[in-house]
Amino acid sequence: MCGICGFTGKKDEVILKKMTDSLFHRGPDEEGFYFDDKINLGIRRLSIIDLETGHQPIHNEDKTIWMVFNGEIYNFQELRKDLEKIGHNFYTHHSDGEVLVHLYEEYGIDFLSKLNGMFSIALWDKKNEKLILVRDRMGVKPLFYCFIQNILIFASEIKAILLHPLCNLEADYTAISYYFTFKNIPSPFTAFKNIYSLRPAEYLIFFKGKITKHKWWKIDFSKQLYNNDEEFIKKNIIYLLEDAVRLRMICDVPFGAYLSGGIDSSSVVSLMSRYSSKPIKTFSLGYEDELKNKEADLYYARKISKIYHTEHYEYIMSYKELINDIEDVLTAFDQPFSGTISTYFLTKLIRKHVKVALSGDGSDELFGSYLSHRLAQPMYHFKRLKAKIKKNRLSPQEKLLFSGFQNDFLKGLYEKSKGKDYLWRSLLYVFLDEEKEKLFSEKFKHEIKEIDTLKIIKNHFQDLTAKDPLNRILEFEWNTQFPDQVLAFVDFLSMAHSVEIRSPFLDWRLVEFVATIPGELKIKNGIVKYILKQALVPLLPEEIINRPKEGFVLPIFDWMTDKLKDYILSVLSKDRLHKHNLFNEEFVFDLIEDYYSGNHKNSAKIWNLVCFQVWWEKYF
């Protein structure tokens, strides 16, 4: 795991060193550089595999191919054996990075399809004077770029790009306007003009002063196979998940696992115990406050720890720590962000014990768990069953379909959207377009092209391969919210503390298989992640499998009503908002007054504004 950066053009050691130094947290173990008269490559390395000889930048036999990369190639051992059989010579002992330059030498850009891993790659083909930037299938590892005056500048984090003299610190107001809906800036946009994010499974080629971008993999939900054969599906889930765990335990440094006591992290710990002769180190997050839903995390995590004899650690935090660290959290992203940030705090503890931790990330997004997932089937069937709902004549099976929802809520959502999935999904976001018309000042509106976030949502829905209602929502979020928000907080907030996170549920083989499972087996009779839970019955206690879902999120909305009140009122004070004059202050103050009068439906909106204000003051 590392931080990479660089730029095309003449050698400039001073600029490259500054850029590389800004990524120290991503790789505190060592630095590395490569220059010629066409390229500048830099890296900060977190040594995980081949500690002694795996230094970067790395090259092929005749040094015509140079590369820096961030991430891990989990199947590097078998790839190396295959390459050696056909005549490739390796100079490192067992570096996964060296495999990449030889694969490219042998197969060209098609080498990407052979990789099982998480990575962002910058590969310099010296002979052809071609720079290739690559991002992994899921978008686990970030990669940003700026193309200006025929110079391509790239880095794992925006902060490094901003240190290049060609890049000006200039806000992209249109991109920022999207944040107030999604809680993050949607890729390929960033909060800064002329700086973009490479999308998941994209590669970019810089050749003869021009750039082109290409997609090299896409999740496909169109193949619904296996005729709902639950036994076959369960066996394959466990087989693929177990092998994914095994591969992610290949490591030359101490490793552990996140453990929330939910089925995702618990299943990973269970499978890890099969491949370790020593107790697995596990880590849980708790809070000083007596919050029943959060105390349950520690209770169930301790149960799993006891069953699998882990070496268990707990990190207990308070709301004061959030106030003290929120600026550092947002600096880790370089962009406004009001999504989940728990990873930042638990990783403070993890870094004291291990360099690598496995997690259960991706399971919810594959098998269905969130509100939007639970709504997919009820909204799809609402029109057909509307009359029976009104007369309370639903069959027992139909009642299970709508369990957990008030009829008035479903009816309201249906009537506002006419049942169109892209419309009702858009209604679940933070600020809708019509609300942003009221939120933004005339100054802000003047800076943006148009307030039309719905267009982005609709365009993504038009490109879906899935047909059934749940898989359509899962695919939409897999392509948007998942890489831009979920994987973003996993990466940036763990790397802020120099810890590498590996997620077995993101193994591309498992992802492709789960995409073929019908939605009706993912949420069945109101049971979320049904088929996964059935598959995990042999591994986990019943009380863990049937435990109500509790997200790995800070209790910010609990704290906001009381403990964070003074902080919120300070951040969103008239004086501080007036400095940038981007908001209709009266609208903001009405939101705050309404919230503290008891309408807590505005929690996400208030926190969204707080995070933006802290970020803006830090950068502008």
Concatenating the DSSP letter of every residue in 531-549 gives HHHHHTTTTS-HHHHTSPP
Alpha-carbon distance 460 to 479, whole Å?
8
Query: Rounded to whole angstroms, what are the CA distances from 138 to 117, 199, 356, 506?
Result: 10, 9, 19, 7
Helix or strand holding residue 132 (H, E): strand 130-135
Helix or strand holding residue 196 (H, E): strand 195-197
**Phi/psi at 523 (nearest 5 deg)?**
-125, 110
CB-CB contact of 225 with 238 (8 Å): no
Indicate the residue type of 381.
H
CB-CB contact of 312 with 280 (8 Å): no
Sign of CA dihedral 522, 528, 530, 532: positive
Indicate the residue type of 187.
S
Q: Do the bridges between strand 255-258 and strand 130-135 make them parallel or antiparallel, or are there none, so unpaired? A: unpaired
Alpha-carbon distance 419 to 425, whole Å?
10
* The CA-based dihedral angle spanning residues 103, 109, 114, 117, taken in that order and rounded to the nearest 10 degrees: 90
Which residues of 478-614 form beta strands (DSSP E)?
A: 500-502
**Sequence-separated contacts (24+) of 33-38 with Cβ below 8 Å:** 33/57, 34/66, 34/68, 34/124, 35/11, 36/11, 36/126, 37/10, 37/11, 38/8, 38/9, 38/124, 38/126, 38/129
Alpha-carbon distance 602 to 337, whole Å?
17
Alpha-carbon distance 430 to 182, whole Å?
7
Closest CA to 210 of 145, 126, 151, 127: 151
> End-to-end CA distance of the chain, in Å?
30
**Phi/psi at 467 (nearest 5 deg)?**
-110, -40
Closest CA to 468 of 429, 426, 412, 516: 516
* Given the residues 2, 146, 167, 611, the one annotated as active site: 2
Alpha-carbon distance 410 to 205, whole Å?
47
Query: Residue 161 has which token pair?
Result: 């790009």
Query: Phi-psi category of 129—alpha, beta or left, where left has phi over 0 and alpha has psi -120 to 50?
Result: left
Q: Verify whether residue 5 is a known catalytic residue.
A: no
Closest CA to 405 of 382, 421, 423, 384: 382
Q: Please give the positions annotated as active site.
A: 2
